Amino acid sequence: MSELTPADIISALQSRGWEASIISSNDISGEIVPTKSSGILKCVDGRGSDNKNFGGPKLPGGVYAIAHNRHATSLSDITSIAEEVSSKGYIPSVHGDDSSDMLGCGFFKLWITGRFDDMGYPRPEFDANQGAKAVKNAGGVIEMHHGKHTEKVVYINLCPNTTIEPNEDDQRFVVDAWVGGKFSLDIPKFLIGAAATVEMLGGPKIAKIVVPAPPLTPDDIAAALRSRGWKADVVTSDDVSSEMVPAKSSGILKCVDGRGSDNSRFGGPKLPGGVYAIAHNRHATSLSDITSITKEVSSAGFVPSVHGDDSSDMLGCGFFKLWITGRFDDMGYPRPEFDADQGAKAVQKAGGVIEMHHGKHTEKVVYINLCPNTTIEPDENNQRFVVDAWVGGKFGLDVPRFLVSAAATVEMLGGPRIAKIVTPSPPKLSPADIVAVLESRGWDACQISEDDVAEELVQTKSSGILKCVDGRGELDSKLFGLFFCLGSNNSRFGGPKLPGGVYAIAHNRHATSLSDITSITKEVSSAGFVPSVHGDDSSDMLGCGFFKLWITGRFDDMGYPRPEFDADQGAKAVQKAGGVIEMHHGKHTEKVVYINLCPNTTIEPDENNQRFVVDAWVGGKFGLDVPRFLVSAAATVEMLGGPKVARIIVPRGMPIIEEA
């Protein structure tokens, strides 16, 4: 079915007698906030609560909304869903109230009493107390509401990773509809169920559908800076290609400070004050906030950090010094409740890094980098401030406010009012380009529509492993002894496919150490995939042809450095970091290479009808250099003697062009 638009939601609500309108997130900028991993995924109920874990997304009945939409009615279902919510980075919850105990959740009361029967929803097989206990036993939270309902409006929020906080003195129902996509809910049915809930509970039939504000363009940023007296130019990544590098998960998320440092963990993205930039933007001022954000940064696949310098210890971070001394007060940012030493200790204790800078500031330019998953490295002999603005989207920051505060920081510190806004260079590779490149290498290549492989193309699942493109069958790894006992059991289907699994990401990034493999494995997990590598029944862990080519130097002439570890060491590192080892068997009989450009889909392996499947869309998830990735994938097939026959699968509706 086609995607539901805000206008569709308006039309459906109006047909039910609602007053409904579309508003921008800018219209409620004072109320909409980024979600926090420390906030509970809670009910839409707008009343007061004993809950202090604010900042989580909101669904009718909290955890129950997911179960209801999926027709999941058993206690074991509730346990599984609560654990799933936790694995997605949210704190699961259900609630009661001070008048009806656990039946104080109106949504659950409607569900258990059969008010959704005529909509086709089966009733739960448990009562309110049993459901609450199951959520709590699975690591969730029970909150208790108080007072009367006085909600005046229903916000249906379509802005990812944001929410509107409850206010018992100004109540509103908040339905964070974007969360539905995180749990693969049937969104139209979910929204109808939410509307019916409000109606049956006698709530207000007034809805505001909140849509994301138009994104800030590079020209908008340049104009805003010029209005502050800056010289600002928009450049492309090609213009700074000699300096721009892929971000690495092993590099620290550090301050924009361009001076020399004792840090040797290069390749991480840069924000003013490092971790402090996120806290500042969110108005998060406590040490517990810093601890939570540090852990959040780690779970997002970065190494969190803050810094000091050789002249002022931990107050050597100019951004933090401005913050704690109130220089941002007139911009509406509350001051931190901790000093520089306390903040640094909290970051370090939560697994972060403290770096120390040295020397004087001599930055001559500010780079505002909008190219995802890239950065510009510090150079104490050629200093520049580097603001990796793309990171703001990773943490749900208010990017316009973030950039204004970054500019104000440079100004207050007497830095250069010269900015280069770095934008991605125009796409270089279309499906037709891929065909042309492959044909130039002697391949039989053409584009096909996803409709042409509709019977084979499936949606990816978070429970499926991100695995190698190898089309052979899989063995139960118990046959290979205890070392491989956590490997594939031939049941974790539905994951995307890259050459060598996890190794494809490392290879593309020139990441060659075991610590890189560990970091990338965790990054893959945090992106919602199950990381893996593989071997086979004839060569153990060297049974992965891609890895064998890499370690034996077959990619040397393409500029890829060899790994610093062997196949067994790499597999152990992946497994230790939470990944999976699978074992293949039999001979290669692949007849075709599918290069799949349809997001969130894959083609499953079939040992009786083998094919290489390269889910190229995954490259964008990990900031890979996709042209180089595809060239190396083609070279892999060629060096392994595979079929030089490719079918490039393009999304439905995309014109199929035979020539570039």
576, 525 contact by CB (below 8 A):
no
- How buried is 181 (Cβ within 10 angstroms: 0-12 exposed, 13-18 middle, 19+ buried)? exposed
Q: Which of 635, 594, 636, 620 is nearest to 429 (CA)?
A: 620
Mean pLDDT to the nearest integer, 1-17: 86
Q: Which residue has the higher pLDDT, 659 or 545?
A: 545
- Where residue 487 falls among pLDDT bands split at 50, 70, 90? very low
Residue-wise pLDDT for 488-501, tens only, equals 344 667 899 999 99
Q: How far apart are the C-alpha atoms of 100 and 90, rounded to whole Å?
A: 26
Please tell me the chain's helix, strand, coil percentages from 3-state DSSP, rounded to the nearest 5.
35, 20, 45
11 dihedral zone (left: phi>0; alpha: psi -120 to 50; beta): alpha
Mean pLDDT to the nearest integer, 38-57: 91
Which range among 195-199, 466-470, 476-480 has the greatest average pLDDT? 195-199
Least confident span in 184-188, 514-518, 526-530, 562-566:
526-530
Residue-wise pLDDT for 576-598, tens only, equals 999 999 999 889 999 999 999 98
Residue 591: Cβ within 10 Å count: 12
Q: Give the pLDDT score at 363.
A: 96
Give helix 399-412 / helix 218-227 axis angle, nearest 10°: 40
Q: How far apart are the C-alpha atoms of 659 and 488, rounded to whole Å?
A: 41
Cα–Cα separations (whole angstroms), residue 359 to 262, 308, 309, 311, 378 = 12, 12, 8, 9, 13
Q: How far apart are the C-alpha atoms of 196 and 123, rounded to whole Å?
A: 16
- Where residue 85 falls among pLDDT bands split at 50, 70, 90? very high
Q: Give the pLDDT score at 452.
A: 92
Q: Which residue has the higher pLDDT, 654 or 453?
A: 453
Q: Give the pLDDT score at 237.
A: 86
DSSP string, 461-475: -TTSEEB-S--SEEE
Q: How far apart are the C-alpha atoms of 355 and 265, rounded to whole Å?
A: 10
Domain ranges, ordered by start, for the chain:
6-211, 218-423, 431-650
Does pLDDT of 477 surpass 60? no
Residue-wise pLDDT for 225-263, tens only, equals 999 999 999 999 889 988 888 888 788 999 999 999 998
Task: Give me the residue label for tokens 């062009």.
Answer: 657
Mean pLDDT to the nearest integer, 194-198: 97
347, 290 contact by CB (below 8 A):
yes
Q: How far apart are the C-alpha atoms of 331 and 407, rounded to whole Å?
A: 12
Q: Which of 39, 248, 58 is nearest to 151 (CA)?
A: 58
Q: Give the pLDDT score at 491.
A: 60
- Where residue 486 falls among pLDDT bands split at 50, 70, 90? very low
Percent of the chain whose predicted confidence (pLDDT) is above 70: 95
Q: Give the pLDDT score at 526.
A: 86
Residue-wise pLDDT for 91-105, tens only, equals 999 999 999 899 999
Question: Chain centroid to CA 91: how far?
Answer: 17
Does pLDDT of 478 surpass 60? no
Q: Which of 227, 251, 269 is nearest to 367 (CA)?
A: 269
Residue-wise pLDDT for 413-459, tens only, equals 999 999 999 998 766 678 999 999 999 999 999 999 988 998 899 88
Phi, psi dihedral angles at 138 (to 5 degrees): -90, 10
Least confident span in 175-184, 190-199, 461-470:
461-470
Least confident span in 34-48, 82-96, 340-354:
34-48
> Would you give the DSSP letter of residue 213?
P
Q: Give the pLDDT score at 249.
A: 79
Mean pLDDT to the nearest integer, 18-39: 86
Q: Give the pLDDT score at 427.
A: 60
Query: What is the DSSP pairing of strand 444-449 with strand 645-650?
Result: parallel
Q: How far apart are the C-alpha atoms of 159 and 148, rounded to whole Å?
A: 28
Residue-wise pLDDT for 634-653, tens only, equals 999 999 999 999 999 998 76
114 dihedral zone (left: phi>0; alpha: psi -120 to 50; beta): left
∠177-194-133 over CA atoms, to 5°?
90
Q: CA quadruple 278, 279, 280, 281: dihedral positive or negative?
A: positive
Q: Give the pLDDT score at 489.
A: 40
Does pLDDT of 1 surpass 80? no
Does pLDDT of 190 surpass 60? yes
Task: Give me the residue label for tokens 């502050």.
Answer: 228
Does pLDDT of 208 surpass 60? yes
Q: Give the pLDDT score at 544.
A: 96
Q: Give the pLDDT score at 341.
A: 97
Q: CA quadruple 64, 172, 41, 390: dihedral positive or negative?
A: positive
Percent of the chain whose predicted confidence (pLDDT) is above 90: 73
Residue-wise pLDDT for 533-543, tens only, equals 999 988 889 99
Q: Give the pLDDT score at 428.
A: 62
